[in-house]
Chain A
């Protein structure tokens, strides 16, 4: 036998410079012939040679030698055994399988042989025959865990899940404490569409080895698939406690939290996963979806962009980015993405539709699509305006009241052609009619002066001044509600505007009437012009005071205006308009003297007619009354301003 070793060593020594296997074999044959080596020993020689070559790492040469040996003596068990070993170690799986099958003909119930043959056949890609041998191996040695698992793996690869499960059951019986088998079986059950069994198995595997990361992830994923989100989250979180830097677990946890509706937590988990592996496109995609659901559109768009950049082959990320841009109104960005999508897939109808939609919206909003952001940088800071001073405020208020008065004259009689003319004609007609009635009824001379018309005139003018002013101001706020929405217009302004307009109107009426009387020859000019004016002004002030009060009261007690209307009617009889208080018994006159309007009428008359100087007339009483009322009215108006009108 030592000959063989020497010969082999020499043969290898010759072979080294020769390179290619065929040349080497040829060299060996020449060498053997030269040494007159017995031909029946050739197979043994080549067998030994191949073994030696294999040890030296010359796989191809070894395999070729083994091939020659096997062909020379295929029936020899030892040779076949050696060749099978050499073949499978040098990557000649088909040859190895043939050698093992040859061996199995010699030793038919050789379980390990079947296992080897199966392994070689599987490696050679002949799955069906591999499974046959694997099954035979497991049948011959049913207590072998490895054979059963091997057969199961091959069945699983071939898609024969039920057979695989059978083999795994066998393996599980042999090694009941091993969680990997159960986990594998669980996967198969899922493939067989038996999710409940799959989950049960996964949970059993997890209970066998609770610290095993794979078990936790597998169970968690199955629970997620079967809708048991809470349990899944618990299990994955438990695994994360043990292995905190596990991006797969974090991704699963994120999915679980999302499915539980806890988007914020899901976002936190995926952020953690991305800290470990920042370049994973799928994670960015998931994160983007979460951000989108949270309404953080800008960040979502950016995340979709990241995902698309990391995985350019997947158009979904870009498509989603387009949606986000569209939703957040960034049509220019959406347009750019749409362009990319269409360029990548010009035939895709869905992309074309989306693009059309974007174009449509962009066109619709094109009117304002200028960029304010660019203006912002160039816009200089405006000098702050100082708050308006007293004089300026006064001027503004004057302007507002002026505008309001003009507006009142236009709107009071808005529908009629005559417009403001009615404001004059109405009291004129009224006074003329009533004085005609009194003139006819009472006959003879009036208590003062020559003409009844003039007498009645001196009574009704101060009274009207009071009543018109106070009544028209009552409604100033309620009928100008919409105007008060203008920041410059306040309650004081609308009240004052009405009051001033009444002063203007009634003064005009008085002047027009007096001129008219003069033209008719009933003429009588006021003898003390200043006194007449002062009395009218004072009674107007009284009217304003009552007007302010009325407006305030009316805002809180809605029917006050009706009561006020009755009160003014009563005043008509108590103010000495068509009589003089001197005609009354003294006790009645004493009561009537409390009425300030009566003093106003008498003040007006005493200035109009010099001969009329009633002893009960107290000008300071009227003045005091007017000032006090005005102060009270203004004070109340100021204090309750905020509650005087309700927002629209």
Chain B
């Protein structure tokens, strides 16, 4: 269960303040996978970072009654000068996971070969994503936060990710941001639409998609 209690969040842009959440109180129940939809620039990534705790809200509280992953979707937490192995060890240390076990898992899952020992800034974007995905999966979270990365990698890697998540979903949840309705249907059973500072939860993914489509049409 992750609860948002009167959460406000806005950030500055060149054109003025942009409100992402305006006094939002809602809860993401455990046992469900949520897909977050919203028009471009609505602040979906910011919402994911708020849920993760990467960013503090302007006011209000985010309560997490679960072990929440870091937002999966950027290699930003990797240090370019460190090797893949050292970066993984760092993350394992932070989360108190067994370092050797984590490294072995990631090495086998990401299939980076010799690159695993090379500095991360020699990686391609796809390799970084693979490393991030594998690292996140290696650590036992209750809720995985995924930001638009389910489309990454070649088909084989995607299939393995999906398989790994299928197993993990026996005991963990996913909160997912994506534009792809197919991905949402594949992974999620509940939906949420973020627009104009409000986050609306839908019990049915179809209803969420519908409301999202309507929103797009209104704005078009």
Contacts and interface: CB of A to CB of B under 8 A. Distances in A.
Q: Do A and B bind each other?
A: yes
Interface of A: 294-298, 328-330, 364-370, 372-373, 375-376, 379-382, 384-387, 396, 399-400, 402-403, 406-407, 410-411, 414-415, 482-489, 641-642, 647-648
A598 to B, nearest CB: 38
Contacts of A482: 76-79
Given A399-B94, A485-B54, A382 B63 contact: no
B155 A364 contact: yes
Nearest to B46: A647
Given A379-B169, A485-B71, A387 B82 contact: no
Given A411-B82, A415-B81, A647-B46, A382 B96 contact: no
Task: Give the 9 A-B residue pairs with the shortest CB-CB distance, closest first.
Answer: A295-B213, A367-B159, A329-B182, A487-B53, A403-B93, A414-B81, A384-B65, A368-B162, A482-B76
Contacts, number: 146
B30 A381 contact: yes
Nearest to A373: B189
Given A370-B162, A399-B94, A485-B70, A647 B82 contact: no
Contact of B95 (A298, A488, A647): A488
Interface in B134-192: 142, 150, 155, 158-159, 162-163, 166, 169-171, 173, 180-183, 185-189
Contacts of B56: 641-642
Contact of B33 (A297, A366, A372): A372
Most buried by A among B78, B90, B189: B90
B77 A485 contact: yes
A375 B53 contact: no
Nearest to B31: A381
A295 B214 contact: yes
Given A295-B216, A385-B142, 13 more contacts: A298-B206, A329-B181, A329-B186, A375-B166, A382-B173, A387-B65, A399-B96, A407-B86, A482-B79, A485-B77, A486-B91, A647-B49, A647-B55
B213 A296 contact: yes
Interface residues of B, number: 65
Interface string B117-142: 00100000000000000000000001
A372 B90 CA distance: 33
B31 A382 contact: yes
Nearest to A295: B213
A382 B30 contact: yes
Contact of B210 (A295, A381, A385, A647): A295
A375 B76 contact: no
A410 B183 CA distance: 39
A486 B206 contact: no
A265 to B, nearest CB: 14
A482 B81 CA distance: 13
B66 interface: yes
A544 B181 CA distance: 51
Contact of A372 (B71, B180, B186): B186
A302 to B, nearest CB: 11
A386 B65 contact: yes
A402 B93 CA distance: 8
B82 A410 contact: yes
B68 A487 contact: yes
A330 B217 CA distance: 22
Contact of B94 (A380, A385, A403, A411): A403
Contact of A382 (B142, B166, B209): B142
Contacts of B187: 368, 372
Nearest to B67: A385
A646 B46 CA distance: 12
A294 B213 contact: yes
Contact of B1 (A295, A384, A396, A647): A384
A483 B75 CA distance: 10
Interface in B78-117: 78-79, 81-82, 86, 90-91, 93-96
B66 A385 contact: yes
Given A294-B213, A295-B213, A368 B159 contact: yes
B162 A485 contact: no
Interface string B197-220: 000000000100110011011000
A372 B188 contact: yes
Contacts of B30: 381-382, 384
A329 B35 CA distance: 15
Contact of B166 (A298, A370, A487): A370
B52 interface: yes
24 contacts: A294-B217, A295-B217, A297-B213, A329-B182, A330-B185, A367-B159, A367-B163, A369-B186, A375-B169, A379-B170, A381-B31, A382-B30, A385-B67, A396-B96, A411-B81, A414-B82, A415-B81, A485-B49, A485-B76, A486-B77, A487-B68, A642-B56, A647-B49, A648-B74
A407 B186 contact: no
Nearest to A328: B181
Contacts of B11: 647
Contacts of A297: 209-210, 213
Nearest to A382: B30
A387 B63 contact: yes
A385 B65 contact: yes
Contacts of B183: 368
Nearest to B142: A382
Contact of A375 (B96, B119, B142, B170): B170
A288 to B, nearest CB: 15
A488 B213 contact: no
A367 B158 contact: yes
B32 interface: yes
A328 B52 CA distance: 30
A482 B52 CA distance: 15
Nearest to A402: B93
A367 B79 contact: no
A485 B73 CA distance: 11
B121 to A, nearest CB: 10
A444 to B, nearest CB: 48
A413 to B, nearest CB: 10
A380 B29 CA distance: 12
B131 to A, nearest CB: 14
A172 B94 CA distance: 94
Given A297-B209, A379-B169, A485-B77, A329 B185 contact: yes
Contacts of A372: 33, 169, 186-189
